[in-house]
Amino acid sequence: MFNACVTQNRNRSRIVGQAGSLRGGCLPPPFHAKCPLADYQSAAACQAAPQLQAQLPVAGTSYPVEALNSDQPLLPAAPAATGAELTRLFLRLGCTAFGGPAAHIAMLKDEVVRRRQWMTEAEFLDLLGATNLIPGPNSTEMAIHIGYRQYGWRGILIGGLCFILPAALMVCGFAWAYAKFGSLPAVSGVLYCVKPVIIAVIAQAIWGLLKAATKTGFLALLCVLLLFLALFHVDTLLVLFGAGVLTAALRWSTPPGPGQVRPPASSLLWMLLIAGTVVALPMLLGHLPEQSAALPTNGQGVPFSVPRLFLFFLKVGSVLYGGGYVLLAFLRDGLVGRWHWLTSAQLLDATAVGQVTPGPLFTTATFIGYLLGGFPGAAVATVGIFLPAFLFVGLSGPLVPRLRRSVLMSAFLDGVNVAAVALMASVTWDLGCAAIVDWKTVILALASGVLLLRYRVNSAWLILGAAALGLLSAVRS
């Protein structure tokens, strides 16, 4: 029986062919060093059989190429999505994803990790960390990342457009009604019922991500510290990049194991320099004088034009960190305080529409664009604020798997992932304090949590049900 081990190299190509996509590849070192796959039917008699059986490829099953050089047991590759599947998923999320970036990310995790198993929680967490490192709408960038991972470059367009367009069209409808009738319909009843359900959805997602992020005692302790800083509203970029650099520095200072080499100190210094530049750059860009500020306004603001509207939202989409929750400050400073294109009341109404409609909160730009320039204004404002997200994800998406192959960058990403979960928990705490205000909202949140954890009800149906309940109560009152 063990003589077959001597001939494992001759048998390897024929053996691997039985496993499907690994034809012509190399078996994992822990297996082929002991017994060839050709004799796996009799491997039970081998002393290492209990360990080997977990590594035996199943005929006809596809395995990821990375598994060939891994010491871990072979696991089937994640199922690939078709373009039609991605389109259906993101169109549905674009129509049902209420609640802002944290809720959207929770719903995305429920769909692609738990239900469809397109990726693991660790892979999802890596993408979440990557989206927090680049400016723009986080949940939209997550949708674009998932589209790229599942369907390549075409998936970038499918994931992003299908997630954005339903919300943009709804917001256009609200903007048309607002321009025609001068006010918004009453939506307080809908938000009253939807917000507690959203808190339960986000809390469930955070719990799953927390277990994947805090892989060591140091990362768990770091998560607690970062949550404390986030609750006191320390700058988001400082929390993210500071956690990444700190974790990388600790990894660099740890003595390397057998066969490992400590990365050069220059790599750590370059990382620190780049992180410091990224943290400082948005603040510097935010204080640059606008070109139009030099135009004579006589206290009446800057004359409106569609190209200027596009450039304004392009800048916002290129430098804004923190997602839709900090968008209001940018818009108030530029469109109300400096250019006088909007009143404060109009800006608050535009923000309310972005909150009450599903999809990304950045569709507030669509509402503002319509008020200022009709349908052309809505189109250029929407394109301007979302275009940088497509470009940033297109540039950074292919780099995420490579980061994990670098010792320092893998540690940096671990720190960023922990910071992303801490920031998400901080936002959820703030939202929960505003959403859960009486015994009715407490019951809604607890009941939603039970339905999510015990019965695994789809979060989209829970949110739609809460919206219907709120609408019904508003009509009755």
The model's pLDDT over 95-146, given as tens digits with 9 standing for 90+, comes to 988 878 888 999 999 999 988 999 999 999 999 999 988 888 889 999 999 9
Q: Residue 463's pLDDT is what?
A: 81
Instruction: Enter the pTM of the model.
Output: 0.71
Give Cα 229 distance to the centre of its chain: 21
CB 160 within 8 A of CB 390: yes
Determine contact, residues 144/393, Cβ cutoff 8 Å. Answer: yes
- How many structural domains are present in the chain? 1
Which runs of E-coded beta strand occur in 117-162?
none
Task: Determine the structural domain holding residue 28 and report its residue range.
Answer: 2-58
- The yes-or-no verdict on residue 365 having pLDDT over 90 is yes
The percentage of the chain sitting over the pLDDT mark of 90, rounded to a whole number, equals 35
The C-alpha atoms of residue 165 and residue 169 are separated, in whole angstroms, by: 6
The pLDDT mean for the chain works out to 78
Residue 46 lies in a domain: yes
Q: What is the pLDDT of residue 118?
A: 93
Checking if the pLDDT of 375 tops 90, the result is yes
C-beta of residue 194 within 8 angstroms of C-beta of residue 468: no
pLDDT at 74: 41
Output the pLDDT for position 186: 63
Out of 8-12, 81-85, 129-133, 223-227, pick the least confident: 8-12
Task: Write down the pLDDT at residue 344.
Answer: 84
Rama region for 70: left / alpha / beta (φ>0; ψ in -120 to 50; rest): beta
First to last CA, the chain: 80
250-254, 292-296, 403-407: which range is least confident on average? Answer: 292-296
Residue 20 covered by a domain: yes
Closest CA to 198 of 459, 434, 465: 459
Q: Measure the CA–CA gap between 445 and 192, rounded to whole angstroms.
A: 11
Question: Looking at residue 169, what is its pLDDT?
Answer: 96
Mean pLDDT of all residues in 324-341: 78
pLDDT number for residue 63:
43
The 10s digit of each residue's pLDDT in 163-202 is 999 999 999 999 998 888 876 666 667 778 888 888 888 8
Range in 13-17, 62-66, 284-288, 387-391 the model is least confident about: 13-17
Give the model's pLDDT for residue 301.
60
Are 85 and 185 contacting, i.e. CB atoms less than 8 angstroms apart? no
Average pLDDT over residues 361-388: 95
Burial 339-375 (b: 16+ CB within 10 A, else e): bebbeeebbebbbbbbbbbbbbbbbbbbbbbbbbbee
Could you tell me if residue 9 is inside a domain?
A: yes
**Does the pLDDT value for residue 374 go beyond 60?**
yes
CB 319 within 8 A of CB 384: no
* Dist CA 381 CA 181 (whole Å): 22
CA 446 vs. chain centroid, Å, equals 25
Enter the tokens of residue 135.
């400016």
Residues 421-435 pLDDT 10s: 898 888 889 878 888
Cβ neighbours for 337, distance < 8 A, ≥ 6 positions apart: none
Q: How far is CA 228 from the centre of its chain?
A: 22
Element (H, E) at 347: helix 344-356
Evaluate whether residue 39 is within a structural domain.
Answer: yes
pLDDT above 80 for 295? no
Does any domain span residue 43?
yes
**Two tokens, residue 29:** 């070192």
- Determine, yes or no, domain membership for 41: yes
Residue bearing the bigger pLDDT, 57 or 93: 93
Q: Give the pLDDT confidence score for residue 220 in this predicted structure.
A: 95
pLDDT at position 322 is: 59
The pLDDT assigned to 284 comes to 67
Please give the share of the chain, as a percent, with pLDDT higher than 70. 76
Going by pLDDT thresholds of 50, 70 and 90, the confidence category of residue 246 is very high
pLDDT number for residue 323: 57
- The reply to whether 136 falls in a domain is no
Two tokens, residue 110: 């429920």
Max intra-chain CA distance, the chain = 94
Q: Collapse the DSSP code of 124 into the 3-class scheme (helix H, G, I; strand E, B; otherwise coil) and give the result.
A: helix
Euclidean distance between CA atoms 352 and 340, whole angstroms: 20
CB contact set of 299 (below 8 Å; sequence gap of 6+) = none
In a domain, 48, yes or no: yes
pLDDT tens digit string along 376-388? 999 999 999 999 9
Place of tokens 């429920």: 110
